[in-house]
Structure 1
Amino acid sequence: MPTIAFTKGHGTGNDFVIVPDDDGALDLSDDQVAVLCDRRFGIGGDGILRVVRSRGLPGGEATPDAEWFMDYRNADGSAAEMCGNGIRVFAKYLVETGRAGIDDAPLRVGTRVGTKTLTRSDAGFEVDLGRFVVDADEVVVRARGLDVPRPGQSVDVGNPHVVVALSSRAELDGLDLTVQPRLHPTPAAGANIEFVVPADPLVQAGVGVIRMRVFERGVGETLSCGTGVAASALAVRYWAGSGAPDTWRVEVPGGTLGVRVVPTADGEHVLLSGPATLVFSGQIALA
């Protein structure tokens, strides 16, 4: 069996197997990704980050304005559009291995929803996730631990999310996310599902504060979801109305992340900031 190099990394407990494939020689099957991510028989992770030069990709995926492309796959092997925690870990890997710099100019990384720009922040790295859409239509969400179905807010930040507001920390803690929540209507591509509880008071020193848990499609419950954190802040900001702040602090089981909404020439962008950690490196036989 061939042997590949890997590095394990995480962003607020959302963990990934990083596989360097600079020139695009690897073709990982869904089953191979699932084995690598298996926490008992593999390395263990919520997903795979394949590090590949954009020029090594088929023309339809290549991002000419970014040298490096983040090929993100969920733990079940399915491809995903974007990963907010993963892209910070990806940037950390590029910088630490000398593949790219970030101090003299922003780092541009290609994804399946276009090129994203990262800079350093006090917390680690900040990524501009770009424009977003808060859909006026509601989705009904059923989850084990909730007494009745709840309305969910659809938010798209490059990948799809449904955000559900809960009444208390006890209700949030009482959710059983070992069972996948059900959505009606069911989005064609599925969705990550976030459950949030606003702090009391919601706004503290000009910053909105919420707590969140998440069920990620293709993975299950994770300790954190970066794009889910951004979607949750955007949903609560939408619910709060015109006086809502543009800066948010989101607490997840794996730590704390920051969200900013900023005006740009092409409309409002949402930015996500937080830590990125590389844990260990090694080699593994590829089944």
Structure 2
Amino acid sequence: MAETIAFTKGHGTGNDFVIVPDDDGALELTVDQVAALCDRRFGIGADGILRVVRTARIGAGASMTDAEWFMDYRNADGSAAEMCGNGTRVFAKFLVDTGRATIDDAPLRIGTRAGAKTLTRSDLGFEVDLGAFAVEGDVVVKAKGLDVARPGQGINVGNPHVVVALSSHAELEALDLTVQPQLQPDPADGANVEFVVPADPLVRGGVGTIRMRVFERGVGETLSCGTGVAAAALAVRHWAGPAAPDRWSVEVPGGILGVRIVGEADGDHVLLSGPAALVYSGEVTLA
């Protein structure tokens, strides 16, 4: 017998998700079911699925005992991903708006496959502490629309990214991201690929500014990628050297997101801020 489930559609700067409440962990979505829900012609349509489940129901371990809720994020092709920066804000918006959690009196902790993340309110909507990050090795990137392969900078913010600097907005707009960029060496688990153009001047009023497009693994080009925005800012900051600012404004096709780098006891953390919206709710019968 086909199963009917409730859902809510939400997005963060155009990066959109099907939110599936499953508080007690009774639902097991198959790869094919996730892909069908995310299909933009035959399903609801989204870049991914956010399953809302109590952390205690999934055996996440002691590291996430202070996070009541776990964000089970799946890409549009059904594959599981470690993290989703925009997804955390949309997830928090859903928890707060449905009365499952509060955020005004104390920060909200949510579980992810990349560990527990802390969210607070911000001027842009919500801000998530993505935690520590790592600047990794160089990768050669071939992309349709670029005349030659370009060097890319590996950045890990709980999930893997490769950031490529372009010389102009014209180069950025000429990219054809309907075709997946090729990476050499090719990471075993793949990577999201960000293409960035720094502003001129790069820094205004102590804030760095860049523009970005992204190809997300398991999805394709999206209007926004939260962890990709953080990775792009971190890469440009790395290239700019010691005088680079710790605050960044990143323009993506879906809007503007903010990035901050702050010192913590365990090293520097990167924080991402931006809006989150819930669009509509309904029911759908699983394929």
- 3-state DSSP of counterpart to 2:190: coil
Are the counterparts in 1 of residues 71 and 88 from structure 2 also a CA contact under 8 Å? Answer: yes
Structure 2 CA distance for partners of 1:59 and 1:266, relative to 1, 3 Å: closer
- Cross-structure match for 2:53: 52
Structure 2 CA distance for partners of 1:126 and 1:59, relative to 1, 3 Å: closer
Q: Percent identity?
A: 78
Q: Please tell me the residue identity of whatever aligns with 2:199.
A: A
- 3-state DSSP of counterpart to 1:19: strand
Instruction: Map residues 56-135 of structure 1 onto 2, 5 A cutoff.
Output: 56-59=57-60, 63-135=64-136
Q: Please tell me the residue identity of whatever aligns with 1:156.
A: N
Are the counterparts in 1 of residues 63 and 115 from structure 2 also a CA contact under 8 Å? Answer: no
Shift in Å at residue 117 of structure 1?
0.1
Are the counterparts in 1 of residues 63 and 116 from structure 2 also a CA contact under 8 Å? Answer: no
Whether 2:14 is the aligned partner of 1:13: answer yes
Are the counterparts in 1 of residues 249 and 257 from structure 2 also a CA contact under 8 Å? Answer: yes
Shift in Å at residue 58 of structure 1?
3.4
- Cross-structure match for 2:157: 157
- Cross-structure match for 1:222: 222
Structure 2 CA distance for partners of 1:59 and 1:95, relative to 1, 3 Å: closer
Are the counterparts in 2 of residues 54 and 62 from structure 1 also a CA contact under 8 Å? Answer: no
- Cross-structure match for 2:269: 269
Cα distance in 2 for partners of 1:284, 1:73 equals: 18
Shift in Å at residue 41 of structure 1?
0.6
Are the counterparts in 1 of residues 36 and 42 from structure 2 also a CA contact under 8 Å? Answer: yes
Structure 2: unaligned runs, 5 residues or longer:
none
- Cross-structure match for 1:22: 23
- 3-state DSSP of counterpart to 2:116: strand
4+ residue segments displaced more than 2 Å: 58-63
Cα distance in 2 for partners of 1:63, 1:262 equals: 22
Q: Please tell me the residue identity of whatever aligns with 1:236.
A: V
Cα distance in 1 for partners of 2:119, 2:61 equals: 23
- Cross-structure match for 2:172: 172
Shift in Å at residue 63 of structure 1?
2.6
- 3-state DSSP of counterpart to 1:114: coil
Give me the TM-score of the superposition, normalised by structure 1: 0.98
1:194-222 Cα shifts (integer Å, max 9, x gaps):
00000010001110000000000000000
Are the counterparts in 2 of residues 61 and 112 from structure 1 also a CA contact under 8 Å? Answer: no
Q: Please tell me the residue identity of whatever aligns with 2:250.
A: V
Are the counterparts in 2 of residues 55 and 62 from structure 1 also a CA contact under 8 Å? Answer: no
Whether 2:266 is the aligned partner of 1:282: answer no
